[in-house]
Amino acid sequence: MTSRNPALSAIAPALATPLPRVLRPQRAVPADAVRPTRAEVNLANLRHNLRVMQRAAGGRPVWAVLKADGYGHGAKAVARTLERAGAQGMCVALLEEGIELRDAGIKLPILVTGGYYGRAWGELLRHDLTPVLHDPGQVELLADEVRFSGAEPMRAHVKIDTGMSRLGMSHAELPRLAEALTRHPEVKLEGLMTHFACADAGETPSIEAQLDRFDEATAVLARLGIVPALRHAANSAAVLRSERAWLDLVRPGIALFGVEPKAGLCRELRPVMRVRTEIVALRELPVGATAGYGGTWVARRPTRIATVPIGYADGLVRALSNQGALLVRGKRAPIAGAVSMDMTMLDVTDVEGVRLGDECCVLGTQKGPLGEDTISVSEMAAELHTIPWEVMTNVSRRVPRFYREP
């Protein structure tokens, strides 16, 4: 059959063998080419910590706090594990975090505590997320969305400011809140909550003072005809320090991931995350040679330097330059020079038998031929003059999470 297009007819002899209509799939990247840096998440330890917190709270329902991608552990996998293990609710900070859990198949109640919903009130309804309101005006905004959507009355929790001074309604705003709830039956007050400012501090008077204010606010609302089904206040530290704070449910976060909110509060907890990488290069440096950006590390003896593929973009923060350490063969190897974005160098001169491919433990425990040691989240936080929460959430999403059972 002759083509009607003269231009195509002219090149037809060159196309005697027709081009394939379907492109051949590219080969997957070989596993051996993937960077060996990863975070290992122990799901058995996560379940253990949930049981510890359930016992510590006298059997109160546990609503797990999974904000910031599950404290850096991967919110979706953590949420699925905790749902199957007996958690009775989830708490997140952001609307999009709640949507992510719903998309992952989580059926439990999800409380969005961050308080800002802009023009996204409809997303709360579409994904069956429970908002936390912190201003009386938000009742009307939510009610308008419920009416517009033709939905059933929407559950909501209200935050009372008892001393955190961040979000929450003051005592002076409670009459306005009660009036708004009475006027808008589209919004059903399910819960009343507050948040402790100093639960992990040395003494407990601040917990008692905030609970006193919370009880006062509850009584004021009751006199105005508003009685929520649930009241809650206890974060990890308050669960472990104040039976009075347990109320109707508890909201532990960091304890679920195996970190004590204050040293000595609960030694039963087991760490859930371990971060590891491997040595990808070794070199010998003479006396006087420098290492890293800025030449801040200088060899004072013939030195063996190992390079590992992890840097501050992964969560090994730059402040550890020339002062932190990683574990190699069960022994500490000091960081040599500045931590760069993707790589870090270690002084492994005193690590006998070190070779390419040796595992380096960034966070967690390592058993090796030279011994056993642990770099805990709390230890790294102390070295950085920060808090364990920041250390865990610094582990970025470009570090793949591997979930394992023992």
**What is the set of active-site residues?**
67, 293
What is the maximum span of the chain, computed from C-alpha positions, in angstroms? 93
Task: Tell me how many helices (H) and strands (E) the chain has.
Answer: 12, 19
* Calpha distance 276→103 (Å, rounded): 30
Is 79 within 8 Å of 90 (Cβ atoms)?
yes
Q: Which residues of 101-138 are buried (b: 16+ CB within 10 A; e: fewer)?
A: beeeebeebbbbbbbebeeebebbbebebbbbbbbbeb
Taking each helix axis from N to C terminus, what angle separates 137-149 and 174-183, rounded to the nearest 10 degrees?
Answer: 20
Q: How far apart are CA 46 and CA 316, in angstroms?
A: 23
- Report DSSP state, residue 249: B
Q: Give residue 344's Cα distance to chain centre.
A: 24
Give CA–CA dist 198/55, Å, rounded. 23
